Structure 1
Amino acid sequence: MSISTSLEPEFFDAAAADEGCERHLPIEARRALGIRAAYATRFVATEFSKRPEDFHLIAGAEVAPRPGDVVIARVAEIGKHTRLESPVSRRQLMFVGQEIMVAYGNRYAPDQFLAHVPETLEPCHLVAGGGLAGYVTEMHASIDAATAIEPIGLLATADGVVNLRGFAPLQVGNPSLAAVRAVGTLRPPVIAVLGTSMNSGKSTTLGCLVNGLSNAGLNVAAGKATGTGAGNDPNLFIDAGAFPVCDFTDFGYPTTFKLAYEEVRDLLAAMIDEQAASGADVVVIEIADGLYQGETARLLRDPLFTAYVDTVVFSAQDALGARAGLDVLQDAAVPVAAISGVLTASPLATAEASAKLEVQVIDTYALCLPEVATALIPVRAASL
């Protein structure tokens, strides 16, 4: 399929747009083949590839996207994200003029962007490589501007606008048969991995912990309960030896930022229930971003968190962050088994932290050792 450099779709109806009319636009088969789908839209993309004729686009000035709605957009200008993560986590190089399938969502990333779902199908941005469309309102000073995209229309079927939750294999509030059957049984120990911020080493810490537990002969289930959808973390958990692995995108959420708190809380419980019902000996769950992030801060003080999570491994970038984070967790009465993360790459930072903390500091890669990892398994296990 040839790539047009025009950013105005061939079927654009200027008169209808001026009137604000909602327009239903067909997607011809040849064009459908050229649309590059993103990781966050992978479950929708599977069905779209099978029967593109069952889908069409909805456009118009009155169309108001919602978080999770799938949009077909055209790449207008390449910025921060030069590649779009595919449904199988291949990094697809993007070109101006290409059409992409992404999902609307809000993003909270202190090292990158603060972005929100726009109120219309106005030009906006690709705010995460996993396939998140939003409008950037703030950004870190050290990064490039976001890649600009121009929405063409919301993807729809005869049933209405396509939202990721309608195609997700797992559903909050509608547990799998395995999870239903597990009600009333003893839940395996649950370890949560939290951190001071983005890039504090949470995912690597979780991966090494999973690897150490797997090396000990244990069946480990892993998940990521909050954050922005991308395949790198789930793939890391799989590579480390976890099975099954899931994240919030498996429940139909491209991101968890700005979800109603009750949804975040229910999502965490549903994810742990599903992973626990898999027959795992241990469940390990990552909570994204830092302890001051809104949803995370509320979760820590929610009785549900302590009912579902038995202990925490905390990742920090430096000794001071480790001390402050431990204080926050202890003030919330959250048990902490160990400190790890980026700070352990520095022997000096590790020594500083060890001298000021009453919790053990463990080198991230030492967690791959069976005897180190298994020593962190809490004795207590909650009942479902």
Structure 2
Amino acid sequence: MHGSFAPTSSPAVLHRLSNTRRAALKVSYTVRALDGDRPVHLLSGPGVRPQHGDVVVAEVTGIGRHTRLESAAGRRAHLFPGDEVLVAYGARYAPDQFEAEPPADLGPCDLVAAGGIAAEVISAHADLAEPTTLKPVGLAADAAGEPVNMTRLAAPRAAVLAGSRDGVPTVAVVGTSMNAGKTTTGAALVRGLTAAGYRVGAAKVTGTGAGGDRWMLQDSGAFAAADFTDAGLATTYRVPIERILAAARDLHDGLVGAGADAVVLEVADGLLQPETAELLKPGRLPALVQGWVFAAGDAAGALYGTERLRAAGLPVLAVSGRMTASPLAVRECARHLDLPVHGLDDLADPAIAAQLTPRAVVQPVRECTA
């Protein structure tokens, strides 16, 4: 997975971006590693074939669904026609929003995520406005003409001693679909474990480049929070499973290496999303995780999801998610499920959070206050 262009009879052209244009670029969250060192060179021309994760400068040509771009600092910057933005090509899988694929060339495309993802919309939820449209100017490139891909922007890998990750309890949150309450569930669990005395690291290991979930995990008390963009991925849809898994390991190792004695991971989208289904197979993501919390939007989804996880041999610790906003839905679920059903306040309770921490691991290290 690295940027390249297919040789054709039509040459690619390397040109410089003026300092004025560089300074005016609106840099997205996904490519925030380039905010302080904005690209000088652009690669354009009919021979350029963008790859998943290539960084691109594009002009905003029409305002639609996304009226703002999430900046490197997390601020939502207003977009206007004529703005030039720095974003990355990637695929998107979002049943409530867009299904999108990277284009085959530098032709017009769409802004499919506020975090800074450029792609061509294949399908969209009926309630959505038309996407904001982009006209790519060129791929960000180095002086030799090699496109800058997200893989080059990955944070350095952490050195973790063999076996050290085995002593760190890791709980993963997975759910029925997008908007099932996975991030709020993970954030509540972070709060509870932090209150219980754990030094919690948190990471979102799959999804579409955007900072909101990462910021929520951090704001909930995680001393360190990360996502797959830190591991060099713009999105994880259409990315080979081994590459996603390697990124998840790097994120987990980074948190452990930074001193986490408990880790909370979030897996985006739902059980039926292709990459999620593959990641949950034995020997993949379950090799990092000792226990799972399932987030669902309704009782039926909770029953289906927990049965599917258990059939795969995964230890389910509890059910939570958007469903728990409804006392009636909680009662429906509790009548048919032999697992605790916890709302956000429950998960934020240190006693409950500590009970959900897998038993066969070390206890949290508490600071001495004497």
TM-score range, shorter chain: over 0.9
CA shift, 1:273, in A, is 2.1
Q: Which residue of 2 aligns with 1:78?
A: 63
Q: Which residue of 2 aligns with 1:166?
A: 152
Aligned counterparts of 2:356 and 2:175: Cα–Cα separation in 1: 17
CA shift, 1:119, in A, is 0.6
Q: 1:176 aligns with which of 127, 144, 158?
A: 158
Q: Does 1:92 align with 2:77?
A: yes
Q: 1:374 aligns with which of 347, 354, 358?
A: 354
Asked whether the 8 Å contact 1:44–1:164 carries over to 2, the reply is no
* Higher mean C-alpha deviation, range 261-270 or range 188-197: 261-270
Q: Does 1:364 align with 2:309?
A: no
Equivalences, count: 352
Q: 2:196 aligns with which of 176, 195, 216?
A: 216
The aligned amino acid for 2:22 is: A
Aligned counterparts of 2:25 and 2:328: Cα–Cα separation in 1: 50
Q: Which residue of 2 aligns with 1:31?
A: 21
Which deviations, in whole Å up to 9, do the C-alpha atoms of 1:124-173 show, x marking residues without a partner?
A: 00000000000001111111111110001111111411112212214xxx
Aligned counterparts of 1:104 and 1:209: Cα–Cα separation in 2: 33
Q: Which residue of 1 aligns with 2:367?
A: none
The aligned amino acid for 2:153 is: F
The aligned amino acid for 1:183 is: A
* Higher mean C-alpha deviation, range 113-122 or range 269-278: 269-278
**Secondary structure at 2:35's aligned position in 1?**
helix
Question: Which residues of structure 2 form unaligned runs of 5+?
Answer: 1-8, 363-370
Aligned counterparts of 1:265 and 1:218: Cα–Cα separation in 2: 25
CA shift, 1:381, in A, is 4.2
Q: Which residue of 2 aligns with 1:343?
A: 323
Aligned counterparts of 2:311 and 2:285: Cα–Cα separation in 1: 14
Q: Which residue of 1 aligns with 2:310?
A: 330
The aligned amino acid for 1:273 is: D
Q: Which residue of 2 aligns with 1:46?
A: 36
Q: Give RMSD over aligned pairs.
A: 1.4
Q: 1:267 aligns with which of 242, 247, 253?
A: 247
The aligned amino acid for 2:71 is: S
The aligned amino acid for 2:343 is: D
Aligned counterparts of 1:151 and 1:253: Cα–Cα separation in 2: 20
Q: Which residue of 1 aligns with 2:285?
A: 305
Q: Which residue of 2 aligns with 1:12?
A: none
Aligned counterparts of 2:237 and 2:231: Cα–Cα separation in 1: 15
Q: Does 1:204 align with 2:189?
A: no
Question: Which residues of structure 1 form unaligned runs of 5+?
Answer: 1-18
Aligned counterparts of 1:294 and 1:381: Cα–Cα separation in 2: 31
Asked whether the 8 Å contact 2:170–2:288 carries over to 1, the reply is yes
CA shift, 1:82, in A, is 0.4
Aligned counterparts of 1:229 and 1:102: Cα–Cα separation in 2: 10
Percent identity for Structure 1 against Structure 2: 43
TM-score by length of 2: 0.92
The aligned amino acid for 2:77 is: Q
The aligned amino acid for 2:62 is: E
**Secondary structure at 1:46's aligned position in 2?**
coil
The aligned amino acid for 1:163 is: N
Which deviations, in whole Å up to 9, do the C-alpha atoms of 1:314-366 show, x marking residues without a partner?
A: 10000000000011101101000000010000000000001110111011222
Q: Which residue of 1 aligns with 2:10?
A: 20
Question: What is the 5 A alignment of 1:226-305?
Answer: 226-305=206-285
Q: 1:119 aligns with which of 74, 80, 104?
A: 104
More helix as a share of residues: 1
Aligned counterparts of 2:49 and 2:203: Cα–Cα separation in 1: 32
Q: Which residue of 1 aligns with 2:3?
A: none
The aligned amino acid for 1:249 is: T
Which deviations, in whole Å up to 9, do the C-alpha atoms of 1:186-231 show, x marking residues without a partner?
A: 4301100001000000000000100011112210010000001111
Aligned counterparts of 1:260 and 1:129: Cα–Cα separation in 2: 24
The aligned amino acid for 2:251 is: M
Which deviations, in whole Å up to 9, do the C-alpha atoms of 1:288-325 show, x marking residues without a partner?
A: 00011111111212323332110001100000000000
**Secondary structure at 1:207's aligned position in 2?**
helix
CA shift, 1:184, in A, is 2.8
* Higher mean C-alpha deviation, range 65-74 or range 158-167: 158-167
Asked whether the 8 Å contact 2:231–2:250 carries over to 1, the reply is no
The aligned amino acid for 1:142 is: D
Aligned counterparts of 1:106 and 1:189: Cα–Cα separation in 2: 32
